[in-house]
Amino acid sequence: MSFSIKQSALATCMDLSNSFVHKRSQSRICRSSFPPALILQNDHKRTNISVSKPLHVSSFEIIGKEKRAAIQCKAYEADKSQPIEAAAAAAAEVKTETAKRVKIGIYFATWWALNVVFNIYNKKVLNAYPYPWLTSTLSLACGSLMMLISWATRIAEPPKTDFEFWKTLFPVAVAHTIGHVAATVSMSKVAVSFTHIIKSGEPAFSVLVSSCLLGETFPPAVYLSLVPIIGGCALAAVTELNFNMIGFTGAMISNLAFVFRNIFSKKGMKGKSVSGMNYYACLSMLSLVILTPFAIAVEGPQMWAAGWEKALSEIGPQFIWWVAAQSIFYHLYNQVSYMSLDQISPLTFSIGNTMKRISVIVSSIIIFHTPVQPINALGAAIAILGTFLYSQVSVVNNFFNNSTYF
């Protein structure tokens, strides 16, 4: 049943026994039976309430002594002890929570989809154009340009930064640059699935660096969760059919670099009021400045030009789309992941990150027809399970220690 209730007008009286209740107030009569028919007059404010059970009168009050005195009647739904207003507030809160869950689901689905698409196009580009330093530079340049245009056109609100902000961001950008290039070098030498399996071992590096360099201690559960991670990565590596030492080393360096990036972020960005989207945009721009001279020194324009002509002759014009797509989707998937950090808890984010890695590994194996032995797949599954367990115990440990988790 749906009722419209006015907050300053003649009120209604309701009774479960379906009897009529009469109450006379000066020149007005309030009458009702179940199901109630609410009399509405002389007010411009209306509240819509939907109830499925009988309403009980909880209070009855005459307001004012003028001829146009009003009767205020409060009620609550059967089997409930709260007034209608409180029930409406609770219903609104449920709707808000539902909308938030839908929003998080959209974030996750977008994040995973963008990451899968990036890895596919990135591998296509690297197969035809094996210059990972330039590819990494183009990814950062594309993202930086996209955000500058967004700020200039006010699609996104530009961040308010100062010298101190960029100073604290610099070590984060250095680590991010190293990790980004190392991962791209790895994917240029080995299968996408193998790179991501090795990168799932990042928690082991995190605990190692935090223990040895920062003097942090962890509960036994954290150390135990590292056993399947290390064991699974080792099993996957020794059974990889197309193993390459440069690819393996690149993935390991990427793990170490991203651990330092997270450490520098936690230490340097506390108290900074920059959104996740703008934070990653600033990080990309600073990383681009750092990476560009090194990319020129390591590979250089001559190698890039020769390789570009060869790729165009072998692949055709669609190669240009591959390069553009891998650059655009790299920025978008990272941007969405940083935006999601503003909306969800670290525990939820860690679960999403684990599922993302699984989706990338499975999709890349299917699309590129990567040969996988059963023992290799077992190693990957064990490593990813260990990563998931580590994320759970780490978040719980950080919660009880009242520390932040990036």
Measured in degrees and rounded to the nearest 5, phi and psi for residue 185 equal -60, -40
pLDDT at 31: 40
Q: How much is the average pLDDT of 84-92? A: 65
Q: How confident is the model at residue 19 (pLDDT cuts 50, 70, 90)?
A: very low
Location of structure tokens 């990972």: 132
- Is residue 301 reached through a cis peptide bond, with omega within 30 degrees of 0 on the bond before it? no
Determine which of 246-255, 297-306, 375-384 has the lowest per-residue pLDDT on average. Answer: 375-384
Q: Are the C-beta atoms of residues 192 and 369 closer than 8 Å to each other?
A: no
SS3 24: strand
Q: How much is the average pLDDT of 38-52? A: 50
Residue 59 or residue 329, greater confidence: 329
pLDDT at 101: 76
Which pair of tokens denotes residue 321? 């789309």
pLDDT at position 223 over 80: yes
Interstrand relation of 46-50 and 2-6 (parallel, antiparallel or unpaired): antiparallel
What DSSP letter does each residue of 127-164 carry, written as one string?
HHS--HHHHHHHHHHHHHHHHHHHHHTTSSPPP---HH
pLDDT at 9: 39
Residue 16 or residue 113, greater confidence: 113
Q: How many CB atoms lie within 10 A of CB 249?
A: 15
At 37, which amino acid appears? A
Q: How far is CA 99 from CA 103, 128, 352, 404, in A?
A: 6, 44, 19, 26
Q: Are the C-beta atoms of residues 85 and 49 closer than 8 Å to each other?
A: no
Location of structure tokens 């890695």: 357
DSSP 8-state assignment for residue 85: H
Q: Which residues contact 139 (CB under 8 A, 6 or more apart)?
A: 180, 326, 327, 330, 331
pLDDT at 64: 56
Q: Are the C-beta atoms of residues 255 and 229 closer than 8 Å to each other?
A: no
Residue 96 or residue 360, greater confidence: 360
Exposure letters 218-245 (e unless 16+ CB within 10 A, then b): beeebeebbebbeebbebbbebbeeeee
pLDDT at position 254 over 50: yes
pLDDT at position 34 over 50: no
Average pLDDT, the chain: 79
Q: How far is CA 210 from CA 203, 217, 262, 302, in A?
A: 10, 8, 11, 42
∠ CA 264-392-373, rounded to 5°? 95
Residue 275 or residue 310, greater confidence: 310
Q: Which residues contact 71 (CB under 8 A, 6 or more apart)?
A: 10, 11, 23, 25, 28, 30, 60, 61, 62, 63
Q: Are the C-beta atoms of residues 3 and 51 closer than 8 Å to each other?
A: yes
pLDDT at position 241 over 70: yes
pLDDT at position 59 over 90: no
With pLDDT > 70 as the criterion, what percentage of the chain qualifies?
71
Which pair of tokens denotes residue 288? 């681009």
Q: How much is the average pLDDT of 88-102? A: 74
Residue 343 or residue 260, greater confidence: 260
Using one digit for the tens of pLDDT, what is the confidence trace for 149-205? 999 999 989 998 888 889 999 999 999 999 999 999 999 999 999 999 998 888 888
Q: How confident is the model at residue 238 (pLDDT cuts 50, 70, 90)?
A: confident
Q: How confident is the model at residue 8 (pLDDT cuts 50, 70, 90)?
A: very low
pLDDT at position 2 over 70: no
pLDDT at 79: 54
Q: How much is the average pLDDT of 96-112? A: 80
pLDDT at 308: 95
Which pair of tokens denotes residue 128? 């035809």
Helix (H) or strand (E) holding 354: helix 346-367
Using one digit for the tens of pLDDT, what is the confidence trace for 276-329? 788 889 999 999 999 999 999 999 999 999 999 999 999 999 999 999 999 999
Using one digit for the tens of pLDDT, what is the confidence trace for 342-372? 666 655 666 677 778 888 998 888 988 888 8
Residue 195 or residue 4, greater confidence: 195
SS3 301: helix
